[in-house]
Structure 1
């Protein structure tokens, strides 16, 4: 759980940074900053609302939904869209000036953490050699399909 707590603290620090808190860990300052961002969002609601569509993986999907809801945005998808597709309506200024920078920083932190955990678990359980595979200097041949694979349901 130590790694998980570190990740949570990193995400909180990023949130505090983008919310405008001056000192990490100041809950009151972070709350006031979050309120300022929410007020900015309300102020921007008079601006043209643009529909933004995203294709996300399961981890960034969860992060995106949580961050969108934190700012009062309502993520949705249209019938027949993939489960990994999300749509939100918001002003361009809010998305580009507030949402995307915070989302990008949190997504990067989450990706780094998941990569680190994956390498560690694979190394400990399967094989300690986690180096990159060799690059072969030849033209690829036509690969045969793997026909005897077990059925997946």
Structure 2
């Protein structure tokens, strides 16, 4: 896996863990432990509520489920819900302050990486000109 991508993902995690010292900024495991402790403290003082997340694609869903499991949260869906739906019981403040913002940043980094890799594969393996199609002015006739 690309080391640069992994480091970007770790930096995002450290940001949401509230890392302040140089030592903490270099320790992804410490960052995850801090977020997990914060979640456990929040669960003791704030009730977990059921959230429904509708994700746009398979990549986003996989990432979101992995993030939930990282924090020992149980993703699920009901039998008649779409495959892009993910349900979870979690305190609102954790969703608002940590889970959703972290997911959005991770998702952006992953999508940018996948776009770059897709473009590179197409240029090298299919055709070097990966520009968009031409736009022709005039009436469209089928």
What TM-score comes out, normalization by structure 1 length? 0.78
Shift of 1:134: 2.0
- 1:126 matched to which residue of 2? 126
| Cα distance change, pair 88–140 in 1 and its aligned pair in 2 (3 A) | farther
CA deviation string 1:54-98 (max 9, x = no partner)? 224221122111111111211111113232321112122111111
CA deviation string 1:100-138 (max 9, x = no partner)? 111111100000000000000000011111112122333
Which of 4, 7, 11 lines up with 1:6 in the alignment? Answer: 4
> Quick check: 2:58–2:84 contact (8 Å CA) kept in 1?
yes
Tell me how far apart the structure 2 counterparts of residues 139 and 5 of structure 1 sit (CA, whole Å).
49
Alignment of 1:134-153 (within 5 A): 134-142=134-142
Q: Which sections of structure 1, spanning at least 5 residues, go unmatched?
A: 143-153
Shift of 1:25: 5.6
| Cα distance change, pair 17–136 in 1 and its aligned pair in 2 (3 A) | same
